[in-house]
A and B are shown apart, each in its own frame.
Chain A
Amino acid sequence: MDLMIWIPFTFLLGVGSMLLCYAFLIACENI
């Protein structure tokens, strides 16, 4: 794999997934 592309992409994928869960936490306040 091309590290210059895949390392940032996969790192942001993991962090982004958890930020999605943070967004859900914010949404819980309005449920």
Chain B
Amino acid sequence: MWLLPITMLATTAILAIPLSRYLAWIMNGEYHPPRFLAWFERRLNTGDQDWKQYTIALLVFNILLFAYSYLVMAVQPWMPLNDLHRGMLAPTTMAHAAMSLSTNTDLQHWSGDVHFSNFSQIFVMIANFFFSASIGFCALAAIIRALKFGPKKVGCFFIDMWRVMIYMFLPIGFVLSLVCLQQGMPMTFKSAQMVSTVEPASMGLDDKGVAKQQTVVLGPLAAFIPMKQLGTNGGGFFGANSAHPFENPTGLTNFLESVAMMLFPMALVFMYGRMLGKLKHAWVIYSVMMALMIGTIAWSIYYDTYRPNPGLTAHPKERTFQLESNGKSRPITLPAVAGLPVDQHLGNLESKELRFGTSAGATFAAMTVDVTCGAVNCAHDSLNPMAAVSPMAGMWVNCIYGGKGVGMINLLVFLIIGVFIAGQMVGRTPEYLGKKIGGREMKLAMIGLLIHPIMILWPSGLFAATTWGQKAEFNPGSHGFSEIVYEFSSASANNGSGFEGLGDTWGLNDNPNPAPTSQAWDIATVIVICISRFIPIIAPIALAAGMGAKKAAPFGLGTMRDDTPTFGFLLIGTIVIIGALLFLPVAALGPVAEHMGPIPFGG
């Protein structure tokens, strides 16, 4: 049970250290490109940009990426590789998909196997996997250079993007795809295989009374999945994501997918230390993140794999409750339930892929939200209520390794605030890397910090109080509230997983029965995803630029050291206390209330 997460974490931690050396070597420009690439790189390298130019380049690139993704989805019906004749997606679905994919969120109000053709899967999803992953990486590189060299020399956005894609993602993704191919992942441009089912009429009968065949959707999975995980994208080819046997055929692919999604986030922490020349400080940050990650994984496994599914356990008395729904009050009577004769010693097995092991679902759930990947190998909606706190907390804190670059950026914001608080407590001017933290830095840090909870709590409250959310909930009461909060948490954290009992899909434009409030969900998540992606990137870049322009004060006896366990505990305390203060109320109303009961389970 515990061997699986321990080996995953240990393998990733061991691989992250040499990878970080390679990443720093590439991003510092110390490598010598091959001749056929050097010609192209010389033309791409427009010289050092200042922080504003770099950020504008990043934003403009993202706007173009959004427009490109939207356009390619809009022309889907007329493009090749569309054997299943997928029509045009609904405009709100396209806007949501384009924003979600171009910001590395990959929150899906669609299912790739139902709504996308292979052309869109390749030219929208795989393309965005590379580009969106590289953008966060470049943002961190800009911050590091701003801190080290000042605001005027943060590098060239275009050459950084090139380096990340060509020298990092492509070679590692290629090796991973070969392993996936060997393990049985499909790799074809063919859209589907028609198969006759073992039970002849299980797909129904056609007009002539002949048994229908099953349509098994196929595609270039072995090229798709490695970048989905390596780039912490998380958007699945299939709606079932990594629970689908084509996306995750064996226990080995599950192991490798988990390692792949944690690899770059872990390596980037060390890359930060190497590029700044403060590796010991990076170790402290890494240890803090590892402690929090172990905590979320352990919590998730304990509450989901060691506890039974409360829906299958005995409720000996009949209970009647008044349920408020859509402005009306109606009684619900839960009969006495003897408890199903299901052996629950393996924990909550609902919606789990047992071929990966009993703890694999809970482990993957904690890991995927910590690194803001968003891929899932079990249904998060089926997690036990207290187990669901783990993925939610991972998204709320959003700095336990986090996505490539952005997790480390978010931790820097917590670090600045923690150092400021510590400075206030001891009566010294707070400083980090020898640079004083002043009013401007604190304002930018607070903006970077607060935009995330605002983008979660305000829309969650709005949707929970209106029919936009109430008509989309799949379960009543506190679980429905958890579904709403989880969706906005996932959007804001640029995670992409979901409690997908939520009815938020319109899909194809000619869908005769779209979810009633799917347009509201699409529009709201476009706004939340965009603002929560870029404000927490822009504010820290501006903060780092401001700090980089200051003169470094010499290290003295009174300087707070940032490479000690004390600093680590300060950092953990800041993250946990601020995270708890911001989100404890919503946790109490959602998963904790569901755990306590009484409707529909719990108690």
Residue interface bits B51-79, CB-to-A below 8 A is 1, else 0: 01001100100110011001000100000
Q: Which of A1-31 contact B (CB under 8 A)?
A: 1, 3, 6-7, 9-11, 13-15, 17-22, 24-25, 28-29, 31
Q: How far is the CA of A18 from the CA of B90 in the complex (A)?
A: 21
Q: Is the CB of A11 within 8 A of B67?
A: yes
Q: Is B94 an interface residue (CB 8 A)?
A: yes
Q: Is the CB of A1 within 8 A of B526?
A: no
Say how far A16's CB is from chain B's closest CB, in angstroms.
9
Q: Is the CB of B534 within 8 A of A18?
A: yes
Say how far A22's CB is from chain B's closest CB, in angstroms.
5
- Report the 10 A-B pairs with minimum CB-CB distance, sorted nearest first: A10-B95, A6-B91, A17-B530, A21-B534, A28-B542, A10-B91, A7-B91, A18-B63, A25-B538, A14-B95
Q: Please give the residue numbers on chain B whose beta carbons come within 8 Å of chain A beta carbons, in ascending order.
A: 52, 55-56, 59, 62-63, 66-67, 70, 74, 88, 90-92, 94-95, 98-99, 440, 443-444, 506, 509, 519, 522-523, 526-527, 530-531, 534-535, 538-539, 542
Q: How far is the CA of A10 from the CA of B109 in the complex (A)?
A: 15
Q: Is the CB of A10 within 8 A of B92?
A: yes
Which residues of the partner chain A approach B526 to less than 8 Å between Cβ atoms? 10, 13-14, 17
Q: Is the CB of B444 within 8 A of A1?
A: no
Q: Is the CB of B95 within 8 A of A11?
A: yes
- 6 A-B Cβ contacts within 8 A? A1-B509, A18-B59, A21-B535, A28-B542, A31-B440, A31-B444
Contacts A1-B519, A9-B91 known; 12 new A-B pairs at CB < 8 A: A1-B90, A1-B509, A7-B94, A11-B67, A14-B99, A14-B530, A15-B63, A17-B527, A17-B530, A21-B59, A29-B542, A31-B444
Q: How far is the CA of A20 from the CA of B99 in the complex (A)?
A: 14
Q: How far is the CA of A6 from the CA of B88 in the complex (A)?
A: 13
Which residues of the partner chain A approach B538 to less than 8 Å between Cβ atoms? 21, 24-25, 28
Q: How far is the CA of A2 from the CA of B62 in the complex (A)?
A: 27
Q: Is the CB of A17 within 8 A of B99?
A: yes
Nearest residue (CB) in A for B528 is A17
Assuming the A-B contacts A14-B530, A17-B99, A28-B542, are A22 and B440 also in contact, with contact meaning beta carbons closer than 8 angstroms in the complex?
Answer: no
Nearest residue (CB) in A for B542 is A28
Which residues of the partner chain B approach A13 to less than 8 Å between Cβ atoms? 95, 523, 526-527
Which residues of the partner chain B approach A24 to less than 8 Å between Cβ atoms? 534-535, 538-539
Q: How far is the CA of A2 from the CA of B454 in the complex (A)?
A: 32
Nearest residue (CB) in A for B439 is A31
Which residues of the partner chain A approach B67 to less than 8 Å between Cβ atoms? 11, 15
Say how far A2's CB is from chain B's closest CB, in angstroms.
9
Which residues of the partner chain A approach B99 to less than 8 Å between Cβ atoms? 14, 17
Which residues of the partner chain A approach B56 to less than 8 Å between Cβ atoms? 22, 25
Which residues of the partner chain A approach B94 to less than 8 Å between Cβ atoms? 7, 10
Which residues of the partner chain B approach A15 to less than 8 Å between Cβ atoms? 63, 66-67
Q: Is the CB of B66 within 8 A of A18?
A: yes
Which residues of the partner chain A approach B522 to less than 8 Å between Cβ atoms? 10
Q: How far is the CA of A25 from the CA of B527 in the complex (A)?
A: 17
Nearest residue (CB) in B for A11 is B70
Q: How far is the CA of A7 from the CA of B519 in the complex (A)?
A: 13
Say how far B169's CB is from chain A's closest CB, in angstroms.
23
Q: Is the CB of B542 within 8 A of A31?
A: yes
Nearest residue (CB) in B for A10 is B95
Q: Is the CB of A28 within 8 A of B539?
A: yes
Other-chain residue from B59, B88, B95, B443 in contact with A25 (beta carbon distance below 8 A)? B59
Q: Is the CB of A31 within 8 A of B443?
A: yes
Q: Is the CB of A22 within 8 A of B70?
A: no
Which residues of the partner chain B approach A29 to less than 8 Å between Cβ atoms? 52, 542
Q: How far is the CA of A30 from the CA of B28 in the complex (A)?
A: 31
Nearest residue (CB) in A for B94 is A10
Nearest residue (CB) in A for B55 is A25
Which residues of the partner chain A approach B519 to less than 8 Å between Cβ atoms? 1
Q: How far is the CA of A27 from the CA of B526 in the complex (A)?
A: 22
Which residues of the partner chain B approach A6 to less than 8 Å between Cβ atoms? 90-92
Assuming the A-B contacts A13-B523, A24-B538, A25-B52, are A18 and B62 also in contact, with contact meaning beta carbons closer than 8 angstroms in the complex?
Answer: yes
Which residues of the partner chain B approach A20 to less than 8 Å between Cβ atoms? 530-531
Say how far B54's CB is from chain A's closest CB, in angstroms.
11
Nearest residue (CB) in A for B523 is A13
Which residues of the partner chain B approach A1 to less than 8 Å between Cβ atoms? 90-92, 506, 509, 519
Which residues of the partner chain B approach A31 to less than 8 Å between Cβ atoms? 440, 443-444, 542
